[in-house]
């Protein structure tokens, strides 16, 4: 033993032994955290570049089916992940002159992994990220703990690989008519999305009965969470490709897997801002609503009206995006939706000073077949109790330093700043819900 070899005194032996046990437990805990996460895909030869979107050749690069656009910021700069050989091709010689390399993707992911894993021994729940099974069990236990105001639904339907998509309902009164709908983790790699939804749910349940504002709100509105729009993709980010975005469909006639579920909703599907190439990160699917995950969330939304507000939670870029993504024309409720987005932006900034941008989706880039545009659409408004849902996409932290690999020490501050915005969102819609216009 170590203390015998060092010829220590008895009390020193005990101290050394205790230190050895502590070190061993930390090591085992860290190893266990690593074992949950087993990335098998490497990104050798891939780089992340930053390009001015209006520069010569960059528009063509952004529209290429074999690049992965991570963000376009308010300054008109795009962060693009691609194979370095693509940028060397003659087709993108102009873009190459305008773009600056930010990082090698493999090195970027490895640095993020070293921050995320290992975690400290006996970390609190919101101090680390969690697997699909861990999150499902956490929601079950949460609703059991607060069974008078929380109900857990095992599955609203199954994913393409047969995993359940659970749902959680939180309400302080069985008389609540109005509902708010949150869906999470539609894009697999955006781990902070699911973590933030858990934080919101936990805050609401812990605060009911002790916080007057939360109690008053939950006595008037039911809040619905769908924790996993894309369970298969999320699982694959833990045991395969950390940067995976789409679901895990095997696409007929292609070796490329997956459909971008946020281009698969039946609202102006296939009219631009998406791709018909299965190898693209924005592949829209073979038809609108082709994916079971999309079908399940649509059916659940329609079966739980009246829903007056809905948010599809994403990362990253710190954006509050309102309709539309498919046209530059203002939606009929543009004034109300702009003010609501601006109010949420201001509330978020008041907490930690984080700056979010409130804007129309199309002001970022063109998108079609998205969840948030569908929430607001005529199709979703049918049989919704005479209401139209205020639909938003919220892109959480950060603005590019870590991107999709946001460290777990930012889960709690992200939740802290988003919770008051959620309360504001629900309160304003309760006071002044949207009505369909004919």
- Which residue is it, tokens 């504002």? 213
Helix crossing, 191-207 with 411-431: angle to 10°? Answer: 60
Going by C-beta distance under 8 Å and a sequence separation of 6 or more, which residues neighbour residue 10? none
Going by C-beta distance under 8 Å and a sequence separation of 6 or more, which residues neighbour residue 263? 269, 273, 274, 275, 282, 283, 284, 285, 367, 368, 369, 370
What residues pair up with 394 in beta bridges, in sequence order?
313, 320
- Cα-based distances in Å from 434 to 54, 199, 306, 392: 37, 27, 11, 13
Going by C-beta distance under 8 Å and a sequence separation of 6 or more, which residues neighbour residue 416? 351, 352
Q: Torsion angle of alpha carbons 263, 266, 270, 276, nearest 10°?
A: 50
Q: Which helix (H) or strand (E) holds 247?
A: none
**Angle made by CA atoms 99, 80, 269, in degrees to the nearest 5:** 130
- Which residue is it, tokens 């199309």? 362
The active-site residue out of 128, 281, 293, 395 is 395
What are phi and psi for residue 354, nearest 5 degrees?
A: -70, 135
Going by C-beta distance under 8 Å and a sequence separation of 6 or more, which residues neighbour residue 146? 205, 208
Separation CA 168–CA 142 (nearest Å): 10
Tokens of 316: 């990253």
Q: Kindly give the pairing relationship between strand 319-322 and strand 390-396.
A: antiparallel
Annotated catalytic, 141? no
- Cα-based distances in Å from 406 to 7, 109, 111, 402: 47, 11, 11, 5
Question: In 96-189, which ranges are E strands?
Answer: 100-104, 150-153, 167-170, 178-183
Q: 312, 308, 337, 271: which is closest to 433 by C-alpha?
A: 308
What are phi and psi for residue 182, nearest 5 degrees?
A: -120, 130
Q: Are 186 and 314 in contact (CB under 8 A)?
A: yes
Catalogue the active-site residues. Answer: 395
């Amino acid at each position: 033993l170590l203390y015998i070899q060092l010829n220590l005194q008895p009390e020193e032996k005990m101290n050394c032994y205790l230190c050895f046990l502590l070190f061993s437990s930390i090591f085992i805990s860290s190893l266990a955290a690593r074992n949950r996460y087993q990335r098998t895909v490497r990104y050798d030869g891939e780089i992340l570049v930053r390009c001015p979107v209006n520069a010569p050749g960059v528009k063509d690069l952004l529209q290429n089916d074999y690049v992965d656009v991570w963000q376009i910021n308010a300054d008109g700069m795009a962060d693009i992940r691609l194979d370095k050989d693509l940028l060397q091709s003659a087709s993108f010689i102009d873009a190459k002159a305008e773009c600056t390399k930010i990082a090698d993707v493999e090195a970027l992911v490895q640095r993020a992994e070293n921050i995320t894993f290992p975690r400290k021994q006996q970390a609190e729940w919101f101090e680390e990220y969690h697997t699909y099974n861990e999150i499902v069990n956490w929601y079950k236990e949460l609703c059991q703990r607060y069974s008078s105001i929380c109900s857990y639904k095992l599955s609203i339907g199954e994913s393409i690989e047969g995993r359940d998509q659970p749902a959680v309902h939180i309400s302080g009164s069985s008389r609540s008519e109005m509902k708010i709908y949150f869906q999470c983790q539609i894009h697999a790699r955006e781990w902070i999305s699911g973590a933030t939804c858990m934080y919101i749910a936990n805050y609401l349940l812990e605060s009911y009965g002790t916080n007057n504002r939360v109690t008053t709100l939950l006595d008037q509105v039911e809040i619905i969470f769908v924790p996993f729009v894309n369970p298969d993709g999320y699982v694959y980010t833990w045991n395969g490709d950390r940067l995976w975005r789409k679901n895990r469909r095997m696409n007929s006639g292609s070796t490329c897997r997956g459909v971008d579920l946020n281009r698969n909703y039946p609202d102006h599907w296939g009219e631009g801002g998406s791709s018909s190439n299965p190898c693209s990160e924005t592949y829209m699917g073979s038809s609108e609503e082709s994916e079971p995950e999309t079908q399940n969330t649509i059916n659940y939304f329609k079966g739980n009206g009246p829903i007056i507000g809905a948010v599809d939670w994403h990362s990253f870029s710190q954006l509050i995006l309102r309709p539309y993504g498919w046209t530059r024309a203002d939606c009929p409720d543009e004034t109300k939706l702009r003010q609501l987005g601006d109010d949420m932006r201001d509330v978020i900034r008041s907490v930690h000073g984080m700056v979010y941008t409130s804007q129309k989706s199309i002001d970022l880039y063109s998108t079609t077949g998205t969840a948030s545009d569908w929430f607001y659409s005529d199709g979703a408004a049918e049989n919704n109790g005479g209401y139209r849902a205020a639909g938003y996409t919220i892109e959480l932290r950060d603005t590019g330093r870590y991107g999709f690999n946001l460290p777990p020490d930012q889960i709690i501050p992200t939740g802290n700043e988003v919770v008051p915005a959620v309360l504001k969102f629900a309160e304003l819609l309760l006071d002044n819900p949207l009505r369909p216009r004919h």
